[in-house]
Structure 1
Amino acid sequence: MNEVTSDQVGTYIARFINILVDYSPKLISAFLILFIGLYAIRLINRLIRRIMVKRNLDPTLTKFLADILLWALRILLFVTFISKLGIETSSFVAILGAMGLAVGLSLQGSLSNFAGGMLIIVFKPFKVGDTIEAQGVIATVEEIQIFVTKMITGTNQTVFVPNGALSNGTIINYSMQAERKADLTFSVSYDSDIKKAKDILLEVLLSNPKVLKNPAPEVFVKNLSASSVDFAVRPWAAKADFGSVVSDTLENCKVALDAAGISVQPFTLQK
């Protein structure tokens, strides 16, 4: 076995020192670029966030855009860093592209949710605090995330709906309009005085201070069914009062009709 002599060790050490001396400017400059770049990226990210907050952009959109900018600058800094070290970046970029394609194919559902989140954030079919109906769920929006929307139901259950399905489906926003109209149906027997029943139902609506006078509430014969005369009862209310107006209308109309001796058929409906 060949033994390594002291002269050979000295030669190797001399070569290593020469390489280190020759390479040290690149190494020092590369790490200077890295540390200065990381500091500059933090400053830029903070500045961008402040600008977007001052312009009253949606908080979810602000966070998302700031995060995208942060990672884009970090990737650019990393490519610059390895390029300064003398590493060929073209092959590295090709590897990143291949990895991105593979990840994209394996995460098609996640990318669909990501795109859906972008559409929701940009076009704003609803916002945090709105009550919506979508994907078979009626709930209040608590947080719009990039991949899912977090909602709280009336029974205090937390529901996460994928943004892809949410953005491609039908959304009913109950909070977008300042006023809402209830569409109730009261059915009375054919033996009842129709004119009297109509006047009673209308008086109940007009006597409720939470029912808006403009638009005016409506009461009219909706249908003559096989066993009853159906009245459409349609009060308008501010969205904050809508639930109580519906409840009060159902209760007060039933009480008023009973007091007048008008028989209410068991087909009262709510939409």
Structure 2
Amino acid sequence: MAINWDSVSALLIQLQSRAVEFGLRLVAAIAILVVGRWIAKQLRRTIKRAISRTPLDPNLVSFTSNLAEYGITAFVILAVLGQLGIETTSLLAVLGAAGLAVGLALQGSLSNFAAGLLIVFFHPFRVGDWIEGAGETGFVEDIQLLTTVIRTPDNRTVIIPNNNLMTNNIINYSAKGVLRMELVVGVAYSEDLDRVKAVIAQALEQDERILRDPEPVIGVMALADSSVNFTVRPWVRPEHYWPAYFAAYENIKKHLDAAGISIPFPQRDVYLYQRSERI
């Protein structure tokens, strides 16, 4: 069988032309990818610097800048695929169908993601706040797209799904910047009430963590069975709450002792009757 060298030569020329064309397309695609990624990173940094100068939440700044980078990167990838001759329309349809299937399988994660967006945009709490939610209490260490990380007073790390927080009540102890402590101090009925109030006020003044404005409230709360009970309500910063709480009771006790004011405790008088029996 004779070989048609003219046909082989034409085929080689065609393959060479196709290879050169594909090589040029590949070089152009790589260039688009490199330049596009550089533009995406620069845009992220620019947006982050610009938004950082505004009084927006830091989590919103990070989320917006990252979202801009991912969006530009997605367009760059589509441009690279188009440059390589890949039909992006059918690819997008396949990706859309796959995304729908994955979305149905990950409904819980999507609800946590949506809750994370609500936290980022509406910030019911911020990093560093002392909150109570989903049955846990602690300081917020990190707000992620799916979970929120808090540190409890006993130094445990608790990771809470965002949806659990947003579908339950959230108590933000740090939102107003100050918290009110409530102490109960009982003294004997025989003590002078005005003198007791003055001694308690003096004890509170010894702690710099207790705020002068708002002014502490000291008043008689109840006339109990064995004592006159005072309610003591000083104000502190959220981060000082527990140290100041414990110190307040200790200082009040020491000042009452130094002033000779007695703190009664429940007592019960027992009377014994002896009955003589006749035989």
- TM-score, L = length of structure 1: 0.79
User: Does structure 1 conserve the Cα–Cα contact (< 8 Å) formed by 2:227 and 2:264?
Assistant: no
Q: How does 1:6-85 map to 2 (within 5 A)?
A: 7=5, 10-21=9-20, 23=22, 26-55=25-54, 57-85=56-84
8 Å CA contact 1:177, 1:239 repeated in 2: no
Q: 1:43 to 1:234 in 2, by over 3 A?
A: closer
Aligned to 2:201: 205
Partner of 2:262: 261
**CA 1:43–1:36: 2 relative to 1, 3 Å:** same
Letter in 2 for 1:61: L
Deviation at 1:228, TM superposition (A): 6.3
8 Å contact kept, 2:203–2:252: no
CA displacement at 1:198 relative to structure 2: 7.0
Distance 1:215 1:28 in 2: 69
What amino acid does structure 2 have at the position aligned with 1:107? Answer: L
Matches of 2:252 and 2:189, distance apart in 1: 15
| Structure 2 CA distance for aligned equivalents of residues 44 and 171 of structure 1 | 36
1:202–1:219 CA contact under 8 A, matched in 2: no
1:24–1:178 distance in 2 versus 1, CA, 3 Å? closer
Distance in 2 (CA, whole Å) between partners of 1:35 and 1:261 is 80
1:54-203 alignment, distance < 5 Å: 54-55=53-54, 57-187=56-186, 192-193=188-189, 196=192, 199-201=195-197, 203=199
Counterpart contact for 1:132–1:173, Cα < 8 Å: yes
CA deviation string 1:88-136 (max 9, x = no partner): 2211111111122122122222222222222222222222222222222
Letter in 2 for 1:108: Q
Q: CA deviation at 1:196?
A: 3.2
What displacement does 1:226 show? 6.9
Aligned partners of 2:216 and 2:49: how far apart in 1? 47
Q: Residue 102 and residue 265 in structure 1: after superposition, are their counterparts in 2 closer, same or farther (change >3 A)?
A: farther
CA distance in 1, matches of 2:12, 2:45: 47
Query: For the pair shown, which has the larger CA radius of gyration, 1 or 2?
Result: 2
CA distances 1:116-164 after superposition (whole Å, capped 9, x unpaired): 2222222222222222222222212222222222222222222212222
CA contact (8 A) 1:206 1:217 kept: no
- Given residue 44 of structure 1, which amino acid in structure 2 is its aligned partner? L
The answer as to whether partners of 1:141 and 1:150 remain within 8 angstroms in 2 is yes
